[in-house]
Structure 1
Amino acid sequence: MAAALLLGASAAQAAPVDDLLAEYQSQGAGPFSAKAGKTFWTKGFPNPDGGAARSCATCHTGDPRKGGQHADTGKLIDPLAPSVNPQRLTDPAFMAKWLKRNGTWVTGAELSPQIKGDVLTYLRNL
């Protein structure tokens, strides 16, 4: 029964992620790599405020299957990996919004379609 629920959750996440990946491919990105997504996840970028370097892992931890905490506000963040949090990666508009907002916070610029696709592929494959 639990396996059936997990398979159902996995299938539910596939379509929204696939829709975004197709959009990024139409912009010239791909093929996407979970390995590249993982590398980006922990890569540090200079903090414009002069503090410690920023990465996705700054708030979401190095393991997206675990909860995190926002670096500035302290707000708790639920795990991003759909393997442990089936509510994640189910809404393309929500994913696009947060990839834009958080990507800009981390890197200082909007993420490329390639990086967005790599990160989504990484999260989906955890």
Structure 2
Amino acid sequence: MKTVIPLAALAAVSFAHPAPAEGPRDAILAAYAAAAAAESPSFAGFSAERGRALYLGPHTGGKPETPACATCHTPDPRARGRHVGTGRGIEPMAVSASPTRFTDAADVEKRFSRDCPAVLGRPCSAAEKGDVITWLAQQ
């Protein structure tokens, strides 16, 4: 069973298990790593390849109009996306194109909490969140 990590718990984990963080994104990843290890003792680190697969999909559990993150965010995470329902523009997901991406823990958790159920039909695990961020940080 996947667990949802409340934002307060995520913040508490990041302070309880400080990592040699170079910035806010590293602190967010460290918090997700600690949460992933708590969810699964076999957690061995994040995978950019799993993150890529999660981002590109397709997935069948969520809304039919959003079978992948790439549906709104485009297959090239360096490009601007467009929300499939509203048509609103979305800044690129790749850190190389949007350097402040994944630097605000509250915003990161808010987006995953909203988007994972739409794409996957369930909340993302901490490992899945870390995998996606890891891949997008390399793009």
Q: TM-score, normalised by structure 1?
A: 0.80
1:66-120 superposed Cα distances (whole Å, 9 cap, x missing partner): 0000011111111111211223222111111101211111111100011000000
Residue of structure 2 equivalent to 1:33: 47
Residue of structure 2 equivalent to 1:87: 100
* 1:1-126 correspondence to structure 2 within 5 Å: 15-27=23-35, 28=37, 29-46=43-60, 51-52=64-65, 54-126=67-139
Structure (1 or 2) with the greater helix fraction:
1
RMSD: 1.8
Number of aligned residue pairs: give it: 112
Unaligned 5+ runs, structure 1: 1-13
Please identify runs of 4+ aligned residues in structure 1 that moved more than 3 A: none
1:5-36 superposed Cα distances (whole Å, 9 cap, x missing partner): xxxxxxxxx52221122112222144001111
CA distance in 1 between counterparts of 2:131 and 2:26 reads 12
CA distance in 2 between counterparts of 1:53 and 1:78 reads 18
Unaligned 5+ runs, structure 2: 1-21, 38-42
% same residue = 38
* Matching residue's letter, 2:58: G
Residues 1:121 and 1:48: Cα distance change in structure 2 (over 3 Å): closer
